[in-house]
Structure 1
Amino acid sequence: MTATDQTNLGMPTVADGVLLTDVAAQKVKALLDGEGRDDLALRVAVQPGGCSGLRYQLFFDERNLEGDVVKDFGGVNVVTDRMSAPYLMGASIDFVDTIEKQGFTIDNPNATGSCACGDSFH
């Protein structure tokens, strides 16, 4: 199945290994619209830290760093730096809004373990 086929079925498409669901893309777009800026992208990074060794970072960024991979998901640019890309290969970013939890979630097949709070992985 090609990325185009996946998009047509409502499934996320691949951004050099990172997947952004339609729901997450819509939420990011709404947040960006609220900022009133069209020069920001969602940067997804992996940083040392957390109780399991590595932690995710998602934030809006206007910078273009050497080696960045930029992909478009429904009008939302998702940026991954070249050091984080291997850790995020195949990771899926979604947005949940339930009575128990609200926020972005990351399902990463590369994580061999995580902390109890889900903020870090190894």
Structure 2
Amino acid sequence: MTVQEQAATGVVLTEEASGKVKALLDQEGRDDLQLRIAVQPGGCSGLRYQLFFDERSLDGDIVQDFHGVNVVVDRMSAPYLTGATIDFVDTIEKQGFTIDNPNAGGSCACGDSFH
């Protein structure tokens, strides 16, 4: 499946982001965790992303493997994340995970939430 096909059916984790997630999991010393990406109400624009390690499997979860990293999206968050690309940036100006989401109509000035 190409990146474009994956983006059409769900979220995409870039190779750079996958590498960072693997490094963080190695630091934790756990191989039973997966990266969960969720959308929750909150923030000044209405919705907020959550990325965290999770060992749970919930009914209706969508699980995809990206470069050896399991990415899990719950069924309620999936429509908000279809086509979204998660990357990791490490530059002098910025470091962290970024989310490019074509479903976001706009975001707040701080970039913490979207609608």
Q: Same fold (TM over 0.5)?
A: yes
Aligned length: 114
Q: Equivalents in 1 of 2:98, 2:49: separation in Å?
A: 10
Superposition deviation, residue 48 in structure 1? 0.0
TM-score, normalisation: structure 2: 0.94
Superposition deviation, residue 13 in structure 1? 6.6
Which residue of 45, 53, 58 maps to 2:38? Answer: 45
Alignment of 1:14 with 2:6, yes or no, is: yes
Q: Relative contact order, CA 8 A, sep 6+: which one is greater? A: 2
Which residue number corresponds to residue 95 of structure 1? 88
Secondary structure of 2:16's partner? helix
Tell me if the contact between 1:13 and 1:19 (Cα under 8 Å) persists in the aligned partners: no
Superposition deviation, residue 44 in structure 1? 0.2
Which residue number corresponds to residue 55 of structure 2? 62
Q: Equivalents in 2 of 1:44, 1:13: separation in Å?
A: 19
Quote the RMSD (CA, aligned, Å).
1.4
Q: Which runs of 5+ in 1 are unaligned?
A: none
TM-score, normalisation: structure 1: 0.89
Q: Equivalents in 1 of 2:10, 2:112: separation in Å?
A: 20
Which residue number corresponds to residue 106 of structure 1? 99
Q: Which runs of 4+ in 1 moved over 4 A?
A: none
Q: Which amino acid aligns with 1:58?
A: L
Secondary structure of 2:23's partner? helix
5 Å-filtered alignment, 1:19-30, equals 19-30=12-23
Q: Which amino acid aligns with 1:26?
A: G
